[in-house]
Every structure is written in structure tokens, then in C-alpha cells.
Amino acid sequence: MDENKRIEIEGNIVRLLKTVFDPEIPVDIYSLGLIYGIDVDDDGTVHIKMTLTAPSCPASDFLMEDIKMKLESIDGVTGVDVQLVFEPEWTQDMMTEEAKLELGFL
């Protein structure tokens, strides 16, 4: 895969991750800082490292399925692997300024 295609896919990944919401929080998972890593292999497989706001988050299965479904729709993506990690532990400091404002933290 050439670099331009990889950059295009990564841009589409971020755009679509901004459409995935925790049902209990009115801010997308990307702006919340829950996405720790995005990698695209030469064969088009996308690897996402993400965390949750709390390890016992009841929406984890829903979020992971939503991510997979949306990212698999991107032209050039051949598969999606979502890895759930809990280190580093998520904190409110990882949120964008916009997310903090939306949730009343600023």
C-alpha cells in the first residue's frame, strides 16, 4: 500500500471514530481520548488500540462492534482488529478541549 493511500485510510478512520459514541456520554470516543493507537498494515488490516472510561464499562461490546462495522466500510480496509487495553489508565486529561467543554469540565 502506498503512503498516500495509507494517509487517506487513516483520515477516514479518524473521521469515522468521531461518529462512535458511548451511549452514556454525549462525546465521541476519539475526542474522549479513548483511542490510543491506529495502525494500518500494508494489506489493509486496521489495528486499533483503545481503552474505556472504566474497566467495567457495560458498553464495551457495543463500542467495539460499532468500530469494526464502521471501519470495515472504508475502501481499502480488509479487516479490523480492536484491542482493548487498560494501560495507561484513562483520565479526563486525555479528552480534547472540546470534549471537556461539552461535558462541563471547563
Confidence (pTM) = 0.92
Residue 24 contacts residue 59 (beta carbons within 8 Å)? yes
Taking the CA atoms of 26, 30, 33 and 36 in sequence, report the sign of the dihedral they define. Answer: positive
Q: What's the 3-state SS for the chain?
A: CCHHHHHHHHHHHHHHHCCCECCCCCCECCCCCCEEEEEECCCCEEEEEECCCCCCCCCHHHHHHHHHHHHCCCCCCCEEEEEECCCCCCCHHHCCHHHHHHCCCC
Domain count, the chain: 1
Does the residue 75 lie in any domain? yes
State pLDDT tens for residues 80-100. Answer: 999 999 999 999 999 999 999
Q: What is the pLDDT of residue 57?
A: 84
Does the residue 106 lie in any domain? no
Look at 77 and 106; give whichever has higher pLDDT: 77
Does the residue 41 lie in any domain? yes
Does the residue 68 lie in any domain? yes
State pLDDT tens for residues 12-58. Answer: 999 999 999 988 888 999 999 999 999 999 999 999 999 998 888 88
User: Which domain range does residue 77 map to?
Assistant: 3-100
Q: What is the pLDDT of residue 3?
A: 92
CATH number at residue 14: 3.30.300.130
Average pLDDT, the chain: 94
